[in-house]
Structure 1
Amino acid sequence: MPAVKAEARLELDGLRVQTFQSDNPEQAERTVRFEGPEAASKPWRICAVLPNVSDSYWDWVVDGLRQEAAALGVRVAVFEASGYDASGLEQQRRLLMSRCVGGKYDAILIAAIEDGGLNEPLAAARTAGIPVIDLINGYDDTKVSAHAMVDFWHLGSLAAKMTRDMAAKGAVGAKGKARVLWVPGPEMANWVQCGHKGFTETLADVPGIEVISLYGPPFERVQAQLIRDAWDKHGPFDMVVGTAPTAAAAVSLRASGMLPHGMPVLSYYATPTVMDLFARGKLMAVGTDEPVVQARIGVSLAVMLLEGMPVPRVVGPIPRMVHHSD
């Protein structure tokens, strides 16, 4: 991923968005302002490949893709793999080759299961003259034309700061000490590694907080078993922080008495499910990376590339943590 060196803010239908320049020394000190197209000059065909849609996070992404496609007058076809594992990665490779490149789409949006795992089909897309936009998950900057994404380091860091502040107030743990179960997601995913670094680096020098880090696919049933296993293997912990399915699983386990009553639970990104739990007071806080907006930006970037407009390397919403004092 390109290192973030400069940023500018803009309005996308009233939403604040960041744009970033790459690590190129000629670009690093310049800020840019993202100006999306009002309409496309023709009904471009865009191919979007997602990891899966069983996680409701991706429902929001599909909504954003469709919203911006309708607004700009283009068409988006959405294809999904089966999830964050070797089988899902192979499905993404096949979809990119057979559907996107083979179907002669004009542009590709890829939410990659693994950074570096799709180099061959992305090279085929480049040979065919098809621009590729990295959508949300993160991919090698040399293999794509632009990125519509948030750096998950910031979401992990925001979750860590919330954890730190709660521990400092005595809301987590006891006698100045707290054990936190941290489950950032499937280990193979770029966004998970970024989120993990943000969380652990932010807490690295905070005394009294012990972090138990575990990886796992973002499915609630799997996360519930992972949490139970962590309790048995590592002993009691005072707080659960992790993916949206992690948070949902922790809330269910807490309600059934398998986790202590009142244990704080935090999701470091939002889905419809966890926002409902948050609204009902079941979660302490929820991070948000505005997936609908990221998807809309991805479609806009595709149209801009196809129509020869200047395009910033990375554009994404400003991540934030929503809590009950908001």
Structure 2
Amino acid sequence: MKRKNCTMLFAAALIASGVTGTQAQDRPQPLPTVAEAHGVFADNSKNSVESIKNAVTAGDWAVPVEVIGCETAGCDGARTPSVYTPLPVSEISGKWNICAVLPHVKDPYWVGQDAGLVDEAKRTGVTLQVFEAGGYTEISKQLNQISNCVASGANAVLVGAVSSDALNPVIEEIAAQGIVVIDYVNGVSSPAVAGRALFEHCTLGGYMGKHLKETGEPVKAVWFPGPAGVSSLETMIRCFKEQAEGGDVEVLGVSYGDTGKDAQLNLIENALSAYPEMNYILGSAVTADAATGPLNERGLTSKVKTASYYFTPEVYAGLENGSITCASAGNDRILSRIAMDMAIRVLEKKPFHGSSYIGMAANVICGKGAGEKNDNLSTLIKELNLPPEGFRPVFSVN
């Protein structure tokens, strides 16, 4: 979808939902994109691992991003590289209360997101409260948590959604009350959000498809994306297929299920029996880690490779020891800090950086299991992909 059409649809949806005022019409125009700041460049080919590490861990941090030229989650807008920098503390005048609702903190990915929220709350001095729903089936619980955020005095709510559609009524209700809502990581379909800082499933799936095509090796893969009916996961697989097209890459099947380890083990065992020709397992971090046992037991470690569409410490360890082949690096742990900065910008009536929709530039990282030619594990920016070592979830700050 072209930017003009996407913008017109967005405006029409806002009018239809009754969400206007400071949420849309009165917002200042976004700032222009930035080619360089704090020693890092929008063009990632000019950056070193060390320069990005120094920039993202600095007090006034900076990070390469993609400014996305459309407004709906997962839309097909232009992606313009830029360097994102947060609002300086000296420009934050309000005593803001920010609430974040997360799907869960059962795995390192969301623990890492919580760490970023905590870091940004400490940097800015805002009051932070965090709720976790306990899993992607807990729609009612997350709806109640959003209502509890508002009841406890939140000026803004960062929504790490358990569903792309089911939360829309409450999002639109609180947005109409003047509460700033930022769509965070997973993506919701409501147009009532003030901004989006999202995990780009299409980018991650597409980069993996492109990588496997470019290896030139025949790939017969089965996907293990996670629960059925999640639109972002369907988008990821679609983008994988689009980017793999023209290569010797075939998707034999898709096995849906809970991302708990036991559930993934069962799915893997069934797929190994159903698809004896399978030579690549593609899925969640839990899938890639869980596959190690069955592949060892069946003597298939040299035949069947594995890849995850995101990073965890277990995936990193597997890449190091060769039990996992590759993983998509979303470089997105900092989305929590970007989402909070976006909320503060709206509250302070400051312009967004580049756009109301920010995503991250992704890449594929492989370990020694991919062979010496493809082993680029040393280039992973751990600070953007892994939780801080020893960090445990924190649910309130300041």
Residues 29, 17 of structure 1: CA spacing in aligned structure 2 closer, same or farther, 3 A cutoff?
Answer: closer
- Pairing 1:1-326 to 2, within 5 Å after superposition: 13-22=61-70, 34-39=84-89, 40-85=92-137, 88-97=138-147, 99-140=148-189, 142-166=191-215, 168-169=216-217, 177-207=218-248, 209-255=250-296, 257-258=297-298, 260-262=300-302, 263-311=304-352, 312-324=355-367, 325-326=375-376
SS at match of 1:292: coil
TM-score, normalised via structure 1 length? 0.86
Q: Which one-letter code corresponds to 1:73 in the other structure? A: G
Output the CA distance in 2 between the equivalents of 1:266 and 1:46: 36
2-structure distance, mates of 1:301, 1:53: 23
Letter in 1 for 2:182: I
Q: Which is worse superposed, 115-124 or 213-222?
A: 213-222
- Once the two structures are superposed, residues 170-217 of structure 1 have per-residue CA deviations (whole angstroms, 9 ceiling, x without a partner) of xxxxxxx43211112223334312212211222344346243212222
Contact 1:84–1:189 under 8 Å retained in 2: no
Distance 1:57 1:47 in 2: 19
1:313 & 1:280 partners in 2: Cα distance?
A: 41
Between the two proteins, the alignment pairs up a number of residues equal to: 311
Q: Alignment RMSD, CA only?
A: 2.7
Alpha-carbon deviation of 1:29? 8.1
Distance 1:313 1:244, change over 3 A: same
Structure 2, gaps ≥5 residues long:
8-31, 38-55, 368-374, 377-398
SS in 1 for 2:240: helix
> Matched residues in 1 for 2:78 and 2:257: separation?
38
Indicate the SS of the match to 1:135. Answer: strand
Q: What's the counterpart of residue 174 of structure 1?
A: none
| Aligned-partner Cα distance in 1 for 2:34–2:206 | 21
Residues 1:270 and 1:35: Cα distance change in structure 2 (over 3 Å): same
Report the secondary structure of 1:227's partner residue. helix
The whole-number CA distance in structure 1 between the counterparts of 2:127 and 2:35 is 28
Partner SS for 2:142: helix
Residue 15 of structure 1 aligns with an amino acid whose one-letter code is: V
- Please say which of residues 187-196 and 46-55 is displaced more in the overlay: 187-196
Distance, in Å, in 1 between the alignment partners of 2:340 and 2:252 is: 38
Q: Percent identity?
A: 26
Contact 2:71 2:356 in 1 (8 A): no
Task: Give me the TM-score of the superposition, normalised by structure 2.
Answer: 0.71
Whether the 8 Å contact between 1:65 and 1:292 is mirrored in structure 2 is: no
Q: Deviations over 1:86-131 (max 9, x none)?
A: xx1121111112x212222010001111111101211221132111
Contact 1:131 1:144 (8 Å CA) reproduced: yes
Does structure 2 retain, via aligned residues, the 8 Å contact 1:160–1:200? Answer: yes
Q: Distance in 2 between matches of 1:157 and 1:163?
A: 10
Moved more, 101-110 or 185-194: 185-194
**Is the 2:113–2:336 Cα contact (8 Å) retained in structure 1?**
yes
Contact 1:250/1:259, CA 8 A, preserved across alignment: no
Instruction: State the alpha-carbon separation in 1 of the partners of residues 79 and 358 from structure 2.
Output: 14
1:142 aligned counterpart, secondary structure: coil
1:137–1:191 contact (8 Å) kept in structure 2: yes
Say if 1:8 and 1:19, in contact at 8 Å, map to a contact too: no
Identify the range of structure 1 (201-210 vs 109-118) with the bigger mean alpha-carbon deviation: 201-210
